[in-house]
Amino acid sequence: MFTPKICRQHARKCIQTAETFPPGEQRQKFVAIAEHWTALAADVESLEAQLAEESANTNEPYRFGSRVVAQQSRAAKREEEAAT
């Protein structure tokens, strides 16, 4: 699983690699990849914040997979209601 820390580490490695190339296309490709890693880190942080907010809004304690089970239960309940 990617964490923001791991994504930023990859971005730093890409920048370090880019610095080993003379200015040009190869260097720019590594810089672009570093930018993608940095954007991914921000996306992961955003998703983690959303998940934390959702779990804070529920009455039950968070357990691995509990959201999946809850979603399946809600879907089954909706199907039952639609069938009646």
For residue 11, the model assigns a pLDDT of 97
Query: Cβ–Cβ contacts within 10 Å for residue 11, how many?
Result: 20
The mean pLDDT value of the chain amounts to 84
Q: Which of 1-10, 21-30, 73-82 has the highest mean pLDDT?
A: 21-30
For residue 2, the model assigns a pLDDT of 84
Q: Using one digit for the tens of pLDDT, what is the confidence trace for 16-49?
A: 999 999 999 999 999 999 999 999 999 999 999 8
CA proximity to 18, closest of 1, 31, 33, 5: 31
